[in-house]
Amino acid sequence: MSELVSNMTPSTMTEIALILFVIVFVAVTSRVMRRKARVQCDEAAQLPLFDDTAGEAGVSARRS
């Protein structure tokens, strides 16, 4: 393993990093673009807009 790393040039390491980035980018993009994920993202986007009466009671109890 150390022989492999010692024979790498900076450009080889850059190419490996680029390939890893592309793989991760494609994986994340494909996961986000799925129909099921879109529904989950839409639901998560609406969370700040929902009324949370239990949360308000907890905040007022802490202030007392």
Summarised one tens digit per residue, pLDDT across range 16-53 is: 999 999 999 999 999 888 888 778 888 888 888 777 66
> What number of residues does the chain have?
64
Q: Which amino acid is at 40?
A: Q
Buried b / exposed e over 26-61, threshold 16 CB at 10 Å, is: eeeeeeeeeeeeeeeeeeeeeeeeeeeeeeeeeeee
On the question of pLDDT at 59 being above 60, the answer is no
Distance CA 38, CA 43 (A): 9
Q: What is the pLDDT of residues 3-15, one digit of tens each?
A: 877 888 889 999 9
pTM of the full predicted structure? 0.55
Q: Quick check: helix, strand or coil at residue 51?
A: coil
